[in-house]
């Protein structure tokens, strides 16, 4: 077994590998760029080596720097994580030349499967079911349009190299083929240094289901069940689960055996993933093979009990797999939510900044539930514009699917993140979505269910009563605390006020205190809007960021933050401002004028911090609705900003190459 390994990656996956290496008694070496000087993975490793400036192309993507770090520290092997150099056969060969072991498959398998065009040809030869498409390189937009017409719309335009949703576009017609070809090629070049793209038929209403495979150098190859990865946005996975609620045992076995056959055909050694798209009739088609550890591997680990990183290290060290196919049992259900630094209320645009608060839910086993959080940040960490916006992977396990989903819902409500915009409100809302809970999924789920973007869920009458009860209980405790502070000029009366009004949004709800003591812990009976009594119990203290307790029959874990004259309460994807007031205060509050936001309808605002790639218009130019105005790049993704209506450009305030903040004015209209 190795004595020391180097992790050629950053963030949560570097931390994940270090944890297993530490458990195995293996010393670890981290590498870091300027932006990651104070990163968590650098602190966790036994040694750390600086490898260059912040951009990945000048640090993490430079094989020579990784090799030099290995020689400097005496690392015997390299774990590449995912992304970066993880699927570069040349990097693997460079390590082998220096006598350093690559913890992953051999170069032959990486070459055969790492290139999407070649892998499709290889899969065809190996008799693996594949999607109809053009496997040659597309020369230009005219060629793309001709091929797409022959295959039949819709089609998927995909970069041959890389993954992670970069360089992928769906085209439903000729115009979208041309634009999609240009965008996919541009993104592929900037992300992977390879602008080759290909085209295949897009299966309507597909599910994205992948099989985890594990193989050693001694002829053993296994499949460890499947992962359902259909909840995607812009081809980027958001929520994954294992097993899939769609597959039956027969289909699972057929997919698993086909995945193993493909792995054997390329002499695969290590953990890898064979991705399939599955239609509504359970027909499955090979999509690609990822010759590395997947982001979503924790859900497989939770349902099988197998540490995939440990197995990768053992296989790379030449050991035989200690498990047989018959040993692999799927136990219970696991769900993973990817926490991204992005604003769900602004069409999920990237967000950067410092984590002023970062407090994940406690990890461990709690009754029948397991909570796991794979992360590479801590409170005070900086979310950089240079890398992927994923902050953490929150996972829950439970005996059944709905129990795992409910555990995830409560864990998300308990996950405190301040300082950046993040997608927890969306993830929390998703856990309550009927279609998700029923398992009726497809890769178009988010686009279909949120066609106009995500907005906070409006609470129904029962939920509004729960939120009003929480706000009232917190206000009672706040006032009681004020009464007990010494030195106040005019303390409140010691008499408990019985009648209150809670404003939630534009609604005013009456709240009556029926019985109970205002103390910590609190237990008080309230009636909201004349409804039946609700017993509110909690040990919340002023200053706590999570209000935990019960309201009637509801168990509540809600995030609470101070707001002007009230509170901001976030619960199960709902986010409301609640103000608990005395009736006379509420009367006066109703008379207050509403403050309206400024008019920005004649401006194009930068929707996220990013770099201006191109400006497509000139001053004085008339533009039609839907035409491209500018392209802004953020976190490795190009975002096309289009005209919402016919207009005339009066002034340009930015130029290509400019680095802009969120809401910076790019151009103005007449």
User: Mind listing the pLDDT tens digit for each residue in 135-176?
Assistant: 677 888 899 999 999 888 889 898 887 666 778 889 998 889
> Which pLDDT band, with edges at 50, 70 and 90, does 102 fall under?
very high
Using CA atoms, how far apart are residues 114 and 646, in angstroms rounded to an integer? Answer: 44
Average of pLDDT values for 341-362? 91
Average pLDDT over residues 445-472: 93
CB 271 within 8 A of CB 291: no
Place of tokens 């040659």: 136
At 191-237, the pLDDT tens digits run: 778 888 889 888 878 999 999 999 999 999 999 999 999 999 888 89
- Cis, peptide link before residue 397, omega less than 30° from 0: no
575 half-sphere exposure, CB direction, 13 A CA radius: 17
Question: With bands split at pLDDT 50, 70 and 90, how would you rate the model's confidence at 299?
Answer: very high
Q: What is the pLDDT of residue 282?
A: 92
State pLDDT tens for residues 645-670: 999 999 999 999 999 988 899 999 99
Task: From residue 531, give the alpha-carbon distance in Å to each of 266, 411, 510, 579.
Answer: 67, 30, 10, 19
Over residues 365-415, the pLDDT tens digits come to 999 999 999 999 999 999 988 888 899 999 999 999 999 999 999 999 999
- The whole-angstrom distance between residue 45's C-alpha and the CA centroid of its chain comes to 25
Q: What is the pLDDT of residues 511-525, one digit of tens each?
A: 999 998 888 999 999
Average pLDDT over residues 106-121: 85
- Torsion sign (Cα): 304, 310, 316, 318: negative
Distances (CA, A) of 206 to 101, 287, 450: 38, 12, 18
- 252 to each of 94, 242, 243, 545, how far by Cα in Å? 38, 12, 10, 43
122: tokens are 């290889």
Of 145, 187, 240, 288, which one is the catalytic site residue? 288
Residue partners of 327: CB distance under 8 A and separation at least 6: none
Angle (nearest 5°) at CA 553 between 550 and 557: 35
- The answer to whether 32 touches 60, Cβ cutoff 8 Å, is no
At 163 the pLDDT is 66
Secondary structure (3-state) at 436: helix
509-528 exposure pattern, b = at least 16 Cβ within 10 A, e = fewer: bbbbbeebebeeebbbebbb
pLDDT value at residue 164: 64
**Overall average pLDDT of the 176-197 stretch:** 86
- DSSP letter at 211 equals E
Closest CA to 203 of 256, 277, 122: 277
**pLDDT digits over 405-443, tens only?**
999 999 999 999 999 999 999 999 999 999 999 999 999
Q: CA 662 to CA 352: how far, in whole Å?
A: 10
With a cut of 90, say whether residue 126 has pLDDT above it: no
Residues forming CATH 3.40.50.20 domain(s) in the chain: 4-103
8 Å CB contact between 302 and 372: yes
| Known active-site residue 619 | no
Whether the predicted pLDDT of 39 surpasses 90 = yes
The pLDDT score that the predictor gives to residue 491 is 60
Q: Averaged over 553-582, what is the pLDDT?
A: 94
Identify the DSSP state of 57.
Answer: G
d(CA 16, CA 308): 11
Report DSSP letters for 234-279, one per residue. Answer: TTEEEEEEES-SS--HHHHHHHHHHHHHHHHHTT--EEEEEEEEE-
Residue 190 confidence (pLDDT): 80
Reported CATH class of domain 139-201: alpha beta
- b/e per residue, 273-312, with b = 16+ CB within 10 A? bbbbbbeeeeebbbbbbbbbbbbbbbbbbbbbebbbbbbb
At 123 the pLDDT is: 87
CATH 3.40.190.10 correct for 4-103: no
Stretch among 23-27, 95-99, 641-645 having the lowest mean pLDDT = 641-645
- Distance between CA atoms of residues 410 and 329, nearest Å: 27
Specify the pLDDT at position 162.
64
> Residue written as tokens 């009636």?
527
User: Domain 106-131+206-331 classified CATH 3.30.470.20?
Assistant: yes
**pLDDT tens digits, one per residue of 253-264:** 999 999 999 999
What CATH class has 333-451? alpha beta
pLDDT higher than threshold 90 for residue 26? yes
> In 533-606, where do the E strands start and end?
534-538, 546-551, 554-563, 566-571, 574-581, 603-605
155: helix, coil or strand?
strand
d(CA 144, CA 624): 25
How confident is residue 599, by pLDDT bands cut at 50, 70 and 90? confident
Please check the confidence at residue 640 and state whether its pLDDT lies above 70: yes
Kindly give, in sequence order, each residue whose CB lies less than 8 Å from that of residue 504, ignoring residues fewer than 6 positions away: 459, 464, 467, 468, 471, 576, 577, 578
- What proportion of the chain, given as a percentage, has pLDDT over 90? 74
Mean pLDDT score across all residues of the chain: 92
Token pair listed for 9: 């990656």
Show the CA angle centred on residue 352, arms to residues 351 and 357, nearest 5°: 100
Quick: pLDDT tens for 273-294.
Answer: 999 999 888 989 998 999 999 9
Residues of the chain with CATH 3.30.470.20: 106-131+206-331, 333-451
- Checking if the pLDDT of 324 tops 90, the result is yes
Q: Which strand (E) or helix (H) includes residue 412?
A: helix 401-413
Q: What is the DSSP letter of 466?
A: H
User: What pLDDT, on the 0 to 100 scale, is given for residue 492?
Assistant: 59
Cβ distance 357 to 546 under 8 Å? Answer: no
What single string gives the DSSP state of each residue in 291-305?
-S--TTHHHHHHHH-
Order of strands across the sheet with 197-201? 133-134, 197-201, 155-159, 168-171
Q: How many residues does the chain have?
A: 670
CATH number of 461-589: 3.30.700.30
**CATH code that applies to domain 603-669:** 2.40.50.100
Q: What string of H, E and C letters represents the secondary structure of 495-513? A: CCCCEEEEEECCEEEEEEE
Delimiting residues of CATH 3.30.700.30 domain(s) in the chain:
461-589
At 483 the pLDDT is 76
What is the full DSSP assignment across 109-129?
HHHHHHSHHHHHHHHHHTT--
User: Whose CA is closest to 503, among 440, 582, 604, 387?
Assistant: 582
The residues pairing with 644 across neighbouring beta strands, listed in sequence order, are: none
Q: Give strand pairing partners of 562.
A: 567
Question: How far apart (Å, rounded) are the C-alpha atoms in residues 518 and 524?
Answer: 7
Rounded Cα distance between 323 and 316, Å, is 16
- Calpha distance 310→216 (Å, rounded): 13
- Model confidence over 534-548: pLDDT tens digits? 999 999 998 999 999
């Amino acid at each position: 077994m190795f004595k020391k390994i180097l992790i050629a990656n950053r963030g949560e996956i570097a931390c994940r590998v270090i944890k297993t290496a530490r458990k195995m008694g293996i010393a670890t070496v981290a590498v870091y760029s300027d932006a990651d000087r104070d990163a968590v993975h650098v602190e966790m490793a036994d040694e750390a080596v600086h490898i260059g400036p912040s951009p990945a192309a000048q640090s993490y993507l430079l094989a020579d720097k990784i090799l030099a770090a290995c020689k400097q520290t005496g690392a015997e092997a390299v774990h590449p994580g995912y992304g970066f150099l993880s699927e570069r056969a040349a990097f693997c060969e460079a390590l082998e030349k220096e006598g350093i072991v690559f913890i992953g498959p051999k170069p032959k398998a990486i070459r055969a499967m790492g290139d999407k065009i070649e892998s499709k040809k290889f899969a065809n030869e190996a008799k693996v079911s594949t999607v109809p498409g053009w496997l040659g390189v597309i020369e230009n937009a005219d060629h793309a349009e001709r091929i797409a017409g022959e295959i039949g719309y819709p089609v998927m335009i995909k970069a041959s190299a890389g993954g992670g949703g970069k360089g992928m576009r769906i085209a439903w017609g000729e115009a979208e083929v041309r634009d999609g070809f240009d965008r996919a090629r541009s993104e592929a070049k900037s992300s992977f240094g390879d602008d080759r793209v290909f085209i295949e038929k897009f299966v309507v209403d597909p599910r994205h289901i992948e099989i985890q495979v594990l193989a050693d150098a001694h002829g053993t190859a296994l499949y460890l069940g499947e992962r359902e990865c259909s909840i995607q946005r812009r081809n980027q996975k958001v929520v994954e689960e294992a097993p899939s609620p769609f597959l039956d045992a027969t289909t699972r076995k057929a997919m698993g055996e086909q995945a193993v056959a493909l792995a054997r055909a390329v002499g695969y050694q290590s953990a890898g993933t064979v991705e399939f798209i599955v239609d509504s009739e359970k027909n499955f088609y090979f999509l690609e093979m990822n010759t590395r550890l997947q982001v979503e591997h924790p859900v497989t680990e939770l349902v099988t009990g197998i540490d995939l990183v440990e197995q990768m290290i053992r296989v790379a060290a030449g050991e035989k797999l200690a498990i047989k196919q018959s040993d692999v049992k799927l136990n219970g259900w696991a769900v993973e939510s990817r926490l991204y630094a992005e604003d769900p209320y602004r069409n999920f645009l990237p967000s950067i900044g410092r984590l002023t608060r970062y407090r994940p839910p406690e990890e461990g086993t709690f009754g029948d539930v397991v909570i796991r959080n794979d992360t590479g940040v801590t409170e005070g960490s900086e979310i950089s514009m240079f890398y992927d916006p994923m902050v953490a992977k929150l996972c829950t396990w439970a005996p059944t699917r709905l129990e795992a989903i409910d555990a995830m819902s409560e864990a998300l409500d308990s996950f405190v993140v301040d300082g950046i915009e993040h997608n927890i409100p969306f993830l929390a809302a998703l856990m309550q979505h009927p279609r998700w809970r029923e398992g009726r999924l497809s890769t178009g789920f988010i686009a279909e269910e949120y066609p106009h973007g995500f907005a906070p869920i409006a609470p129904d009458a029962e939920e509004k009563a729960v939120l009003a009860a929480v706000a009232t209980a917190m206000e009672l405790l706040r006032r009681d605390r004020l009464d007990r502070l010494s030195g106040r000029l005019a303390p409140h009366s010691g008499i408990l006020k019985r009648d209150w009004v809670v404003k939630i949004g534009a609604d005013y709800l009456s709240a009556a205190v029926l019985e109970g003591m205002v103390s910590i812990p609190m237990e008080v009976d309230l009636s909201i809007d004349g409804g039946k009594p609700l017993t509110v119990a909690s040990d919340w203290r002023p200053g706590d960021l999570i209000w935990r307790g019960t309201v009637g029959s509801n168990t509540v874990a809600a995030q609470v933050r101070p707001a002007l004259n009230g509170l901001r309460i976030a619960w199960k994807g709902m986010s409301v401002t609640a103000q608990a007031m005395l009736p006379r205060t509420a009367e006066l509050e109703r008379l207050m004028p509403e403050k309206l936001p400024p008019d920005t309808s004649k401006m194009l605002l930068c929707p996220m911090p990013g770099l201006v790639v191109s400006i497509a218009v000139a001053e004085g130019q008339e533009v039609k609705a839907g035409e491209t105005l500018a392209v802004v790049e953020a976190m490795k993704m190009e975002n096309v900003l289009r005209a919402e209506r016919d207009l005339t450009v009066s002034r340009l305030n930015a130029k290509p190459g400019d680095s802009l903040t969120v809401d910076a004015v790019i151009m103005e209209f007449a």
